[in-house]
Each structure stands twice: as C-alpha cells, then as structure tokens.
Amino acid sequence: MNVVHEASRIASLFGIDPELAEQVGLLHDISNVIPKTKMMGMAEELLIEILEEERLFPRIVHQKLQKTWQEKHLE
C-alpha cells in the first residue's frame, strides 16, 4: 500500500484530489495479485510487448498487465 499512500501524499502537494490519487495508486498495483511466476506468460498471451529488461526482472511487467486490464475493464 505504499503506492497508495505516496500517491495521496504527492497529490496533496500539488492540489490534486488525494482520494482520486489513492484510487489510481490501487489500480497501479492491481496486477501484483498475479504470481510473478505467471506474469510473463500472461503478458505473452495478451500480446504485450516485453522488453529485454522485463525478461530479466519479470515483476516490472506488472505495470503493462495493469494497463491492459484497465483498458479491458474500465474504459
């Protein structure tokens, strides 16, 4: 929940609605519920472009998984 707290704190510094920032922070981490051993396979199934760095550190692909999830379910 550090992302949620930091998003709220930073939003307050810039006069942005902290509750909205908390929601965005939660969305940012929503794909972290996926086990990191499955993240790369899911990204490949979803045809997400995977960088060499992401193959070395698969956990960072969670941001792309989140974006894809959001596009499918929220927009």
Each residue of 11-27: pLDDT tens digit? 999 999 999 999 888 88
Rounded to whole angstroms, the Cα distance separating 22 from 27 reads 9
Rounded to whole angstroms, the Cα distance separating 50 from 36 reads 14
Total-model pTM: 0.68
Higher pLDDT, 74 or 7: 7
The predicted pLDDT at position 73 comes to: 79
